[in-house]
A and B are shown apart, each in its own frame.
Chain A
Amino acid sequence: MATLSDPPRESFHISQLLYDTRYRSITIQVIAFILIVAAFVFLARNVVINLSALGKDFDFGFLGSRAGYDINQRLIEYSNESTHGRAALVGILNTLLVAFLGCIVATILGVIAGVLRLSKNWIVSRLMSVYVEGFRNIPLLLWIIVIFAVMTESTPSPRDFRGADPEASMLLGESVAITNRGIFIPAPVWGDGAFLLVSVFIVSLAGIWAFRRFARKRQEATGAILPVFWVSLGLFFVPVLVVYFAYSAAISRDQYPLLAVGAEQGMTLESYVEANGNPSICALPSTAGVNLSSALREIGQRANIVRVSTEAELLEAVQSGDCILAAVSPTVAASFPGTVEGVEMAALTDTVDRGRPLQFERPQLAGFNFEGGVQLRNSLIALWFALSLYTGAFIAEIVRAGILSVSRGQTEAAFALGLRPNRTMNLVILPQALRVIIPPLISQYLNLTKNSSLAIAVGYMDVRATLGGITINQTGRELEGILLMGLFYLALSLLISAVMNLYNNSVKLQER
């Protein structure tokens, strides 16, 4: 019979932490952790002490104080009365805009160049090689500056468009002007009936979705392929255009009278403007206001449009003197009293078109510059195209690698089934290649977004220029500003990669 003895008691010596393999790994990790924490504490303390030695504190209060500077490109309401926080937001939106536009164009360019580089046509594939190697191997900053310099130096300035025999002229029926300050294009303005137009468009989209579903079901059931693309395209455009032209025709003869403060009977728009100069105009949300401002620019006047949404606001704006000229519907004009609390209003002999549901405001020369429309600034164009072309070259290589990773047998099998080359590419090759393409594509999108901070070279007002540039400089809050900027870029990068990873999960090989 065996005697059971107690198992030997665990004895623990402090030296076991170092010599006993059971404990050593934990010891090392604990020490490493303490050292890392110590390093961070040291850095943080150092910062605090150095800041106090410089007489500075750590405070984000500057975000709430008045910025005092202007930003030329703003997607949201901003003036120099706004806060530094809002200026940062304007910069963030500008960064997002150029990153978004850049990612789209880079993807399109990259996919096309990547596919074409594999083309059997010698010239096409060499051309694509030149593009890819040229952009991949020359720093992005140089491309940004080159494109900006070309845009600035080789295009006419707005004053060249002036005069009876101008040196430069506008393109596409006087609606697009390419100048050294950027490209001016027509801006869409919504007028009466816009709601109807949008509703029809949404119904068309639903129709397209339903049709595609139907076509797919039918193909699965019978094998017959319906012309999905052409029908979708037709549904996309035709109903909206029909409604647009019908509505426009119905209201085309409507003319809106012009009410002017202090006008005399029988005055024309031109003589009224001559007497008053540089008028502020009130515009109800209708394209009549746009037509009025174009009419003013025709006679060489700049006009500040004050947007009002109701008749009561219009009345108030007139009374407070915010605007002295308004284009209103005849019914409103009739209900408008002749004298509003001492302000004399009278109709001019000129009238303006009521306008269409959707109208495009043309850029026109006025004052020093083109006014109206949308200005795509040179800085945006240079940054956008340089980022797109540069990143597109990398994406082209990724796409090429993806396509080459799909076995040649797949193409041959598809051809053997009688699929045409473009169908083979779209239905067989690219879906398989996507699994290889997407993961490196994510990092290209991240690169493009972070590279957009090179905007500094051309004065594009991104977040680095507003928060990280002027705000830091005017307030002296370097540390706070840079920390916020770091946080923003971190959050944006994580967001992009999260969204792209979701997409990646949806296209990757499903394993069961």
Chain B
Amino acid sequence: MNKSVFFGTVAAASLVAGFASAQTLAEVQERGTLNCGVTTGLTGFAAPDANGEWQGFDVGVCRAVAAAVLGDANAVEFVPTTGQTRFTALASGEIDMLARNTTWTFSRDVDLSFEFVGINYYDGQGFMVPRELGVSSALELDGATVCIQTGTTTELNLADFFASNNMSYEPVPIETNAEAQQQYLAGACDVYTTDASGLAATRATFEDPSAHVVLPEIVSKEPLGPLVRHGDNEWGDIVRWTLNALIAAEELGVTSANVGEIGNTTENPEIRRLLGTEGELGAMLGLDADWAANAIAAGGNYGEIFEGNIGESTPIGLARGLNAQWTDGGLLYAPPFR
């Protein structure tokens, strides 16, 4: 009898454990805040400002999702993660989504069982060196000491790039961007390599940015995007279509300034569907009808978030480039809202 009770308990416990995953949306709504994983600090993408408020391009995605789900762009708990801790934090449920310059790769999508919901920045890996070294090409870096964030795709690309060009290098492994910056400026490494956007963001915080050059070679494709856990498709849909709503809003001319009234005044049916004045797209996601309007009102459309945090008018000064709308010759392309 003892035995059967015991096995019964084990079976019941394991059933509970089996059903415990999924339903992230319900959890977030019940909690009242969204737990969003970001970097430990990369100016322009995600970093606390002087008042301790998180600001940045990736932070904008977190706020948009919080606004869509909870109606409040400030209902976000930002969880700083390093290159090494980010996936464990997401897999274990510590965070609901990760918006942290994370490259969409096959093995992360398939083997690590995450779901990339889209791409919010098309990037590639670059190299930055002090101007005084007189290096003008990455092919001149034979024998250099390279600072590299461990546990990243850039680490693997770096090894491939040097091996395929028959050059040697000395890796200096570091955990965070701040640490890399300190090591690089102290001259403990000749080169800092990471995504080109990260290099630009890091250089912008230097005392004398012009003393450092970003070399012309881009050695990889780094499609960066937010991701969620595998297996909760409803939640994945919400994050995916929030990102798409931001991109579509720019294409359709919906901005944070006009999002309040354009839904009622416009004749364009796609804008009306997007903003919930027509159709039931919100209900299909299990959200309010004005979910997308809230998301856009939080920080503006994709273009506004880009220009406000990393665009050419900011110290980081990134051109839109590949990240322009498809109508402007870029790669941004949101599927239709219908």
Contacts and interface: CB of A to CB of B under 8 A. Distances in A.
Interface of A: 34, 38, 41-42, 45-46, 49-50, 53-56, 68-72, 79-81, 152-153, 157, 159, 180-181, 278, 302, 304, 366-369, 371, 378, 456, 459, 461, 465, 469-470, 472-476, 478
B151 interface: yes
B91 A54 contact: yes
A54 B229 contact: yes
B186 A159 contact: no
A34 B151 contact: no
A465 B143 contact: no
B188 A54 contact: no
Contacts, number: 134
B143 A470 contact: no
B173 A34 contact: no
26 contacts: A42-B13, A45-B10, A46-B14, A46-B17, A53-B17, A54-B91, A54-B230, A55-B230, A56-B113, A68-B160, A69-B156, A70-B159, A70-B169, A81-B163, A152-B183, A180-B186, A181-B172, A367-B142, A367-B143, A368-B143, A369-B144, A369-B190, A456-B175, A469-B151, A474-B156, A478-B88
B269 interface: no
B102 to A, nearest CB: 12
A305 to B, nearest CB: 12
Contact of B173 (A54, A181, A461): A461
Interface string B168-209: 111111110000000100111110000000000000000000
Given A54-B231, A157-B187, A38 B173 contact: no
A49 B142 contact: no
Given A368-B145, A476-B111, A159 B133 contact: yes
A54 B9 CA distance: 23
Main secondary structure of the interface of B (DSSP, over half): mixed
B313 interface: no
Given A54-B21, A54-B229, A302-B142, A72 B171 contact: yes
A95 to B, nearest CB: 15
A109 to B, nearest CB: 27
Contacts of B83: 473
B111 A371 contact: no
Given A70-B159, A476-B111, A152 B18 contact: no
Given A53-B21, A54-B231, A369-B143, A153 B171 contact: no
Nearest to A156: B187
Contact of A38 (B10, B169, B170, B171): B10
Contacts of A378: 188
Q: Which 8 interchain pairs have the tightest Cβ spacing?
A: A157-B187, A473-B151, A367-B143, A476-B112, A80-B159, A55-B113, A459-B173, A368-B144
Q: What class of interface size applies to chain B in its complex with A?
A: 35 or more
B84 interface: yes
A374 B42 CA distance: 35
A210 to B, nearest CB: 47
Given A68-B160, A459-B174, A470 B188 contact: no
A476 B106 CA distance: 13
B256 interface: no
B218 to A, nearest CB: 20
Contacts of A69: 150, 155-156, 159, 171
A476 B170 CA distance: 25
Given A54-B21, A180-B188, A473 B150 contact: yes
A181 B145 contact: yes
Contacts of A49: 14, 17-18
Nearest to B155: A69
Interface of B: 2, 6, 9-10, 13-14, 17-18, 21, 83-84, 87-88, 91, 107-108, 111-113, 132-133, 141-145, 150-151, 155-156, 158-160, 163, 168-175, 183, 186-190, 229-231
Given A369-B143, A473-B84, A53 B133 contact: no
Given A159-B132, A473-B84, 16 more contacts: A49-B17, A68-B160, A70-B159, A70-B169, A70-B171, A72-B173, A157-B187, A181-B145, A369-B170, A378-B188, A469-B150, A469-B151, A476-B107, A476-B112, A478-B88, A478-B91
Given A46-B14, A49-B18, A465-B173, A34 B2 contact: yes
A28 to B, nearest CB: 14
Contacts of B174: 459
Given A53-B18, A69-B155, A469 B84 contact: yes
A154 to B, nearest CB: 10
A79 B169 CA distance: 11
Contacts of B111: 475-476
A56 B107 CA distance: 12
Nearest to B10: A42
Contacts of A472: 84
Contacts of A72: 170-173
A475 B142 CA distance: 29
Contact of B87 (A79, A180, A473): A473
Contacts of B169: 70
A69 B133 CA distance: 26
A237 B141 CA distance: 44
Nearest to B158: A70
B188 A152 contact: yes
B101 to A, nearest CB: 15
B142 A278 contact: yes
Contacts of B189: 181
Contacts of B150: 69, 459, 465, 469-470, 473
Nearest to B179: A459
Contacts of A476: 87, 91, 107-108, 111-113
